[in-house]
Amino acid sequence: MINNNIQLDEQGRLKHFLSIEGLKRQQLVSILDAAETFANVQEQAVKKVPLLRGKTIVNLFFEASTRTRTTFELAAKRLSADVLNININTSATSKGESLLDMLHNLESMHCDMFIVRHNQSGAAHFIARHVSPHISVINAGDGCHSHPSQAMLDMFTIRRHKKEFANLKVVIVGDILHSRVARSQMHALTTLGVSEIRVVGPKTLIPAGINTFGVHVYHNMQEAIIDADVIIMLRLQKERMQGALLPSEDEYYHNYGLTEKKLSYARPDAIVMHPGPINRGVEIASSIADGPQSVILEQVTNGIAIRMAVMSQTLSPRTETTKTGSTV
């Protein structure tokens, strides 16, 4: 079990954002509420606030991701921070320099935050344990472990459409085994009080011990979708699969792809989500991805507001008490 206590400072405030696990409901609600304010900023003619002016944020993406990296970059710039994108493929780490040496060199340039994406589970936690005390670390996805900002933008999207989490039936479909998004979503949904979480997929893509998440497991998609309020489709993580876990993409689509017929079993006002990128005709039909119940593009937009909220809560100026009791 990875220790998540390092996410909080001595006052219990968010210092790093590494995982949903270990955070309390009010902390998640606080992020959602802050994102609501920042969503309004994006509708203004000048889409900037001076909250993080003078701060320097570094994108450390050891794993490629256009959508996540660009939304983090936009979020930082809209908070008026300076942004440094490190090209890992041409950085000193590819020339033999250790990760810690690279981090310490960046620290010496007076950076304030590292946004970390890595293909190894626990990488962001490792970095958070070894950086200087003034540095904050945000996990932008680590292996099959966690993707907390994606889960929070999904929660934000759900709340905007459904208002309350209680009494919702949420279905997560697909490659649960390799999905860090699904793990973070399950933690977030449980913490926010969703009444029923259903996961559905082939037996080869359902991890052992998933019942510890408090979810209901299905292997028949139509049964799982009955009366659903929210349907979250997952991308097949082919790059993480070892061995023949799927007979064919056609068979997967037949059994677990979201089609008009399968969607008809859900509630009429059900929303359809996908963290992207979408494999059309494998995970979801184009008519649904582009249809009226799809909120997939809203998720992308909401990602900027959520990431602004997370950055602001981990880097906002804080008063410190001196030995005499005054504040500085």
Q: What pLDDT is attached to residue 136?
A: 96
DSSP letter string, 162-186: HS--TT-EEEEES-TTT-HHHHHHH
Is-contact 45 173, C-beta < 8 A? no
Q: What pLDDT is attached to residue 5?
A: 78
Q: What pLDDT is attached to residue 93?
A: 56
Its pTM stands at 0.90
Q: What's the mean pLDDT when you consider all of the chain?
A: 89
Q: What pLDDT is attached to residue 3?
A: 44
Q: What pLDDT is attached to residue 91?
A: 57
Structural domains of the chain sorted by starting position, each given as residue range(s) with its CATH number in brackets: 5-146+302-315 (3.40.50.1370), 148-295 (3.40.50.1370)
- Taking 50 as the pLDDT cut, the residues of the chain under it are 1-4, 92, 95, 240-244, 318-328
Q: In this structure, which long-range contacts are made by residues 45-50, counting pairs with CB atoms below 8 Å and at least 24 apart in sequence? A: 47/78, 48/77, 48/78, 48/79, 48/80, 49/78, 49/79, 49/80, 50/80
Q: What pLDDT is attached to residue 46?
A: 85
Q: Kind of pairing, strands 82-86 and 271-273? A: unpaired
Q: What pLDDT is attached to residue 324?
A: 33
Q: What pLDDT is attached to residue 224?
A: 97
Q: What pLDDT is attached to residue 41?
A: 87
Q: What pLDDT is attached to residue 219?
A: 96
Q: What pLDDT is attached to residue 117?
A: 94
Q: What pLDDT is attached to residue 239?
A: 52
Three-class SS state of 106? helix
Residue 140 Rama label (left phi>0; alpha psi -120 to 50; beta): alpha
Q: What pLDDT is attached to residue 247?
A: 66
The per-residue pLDDT for range 253-287, each reduced to its tens digit, is: 999 999 999 999 999 999 999 998 999 999 999 99
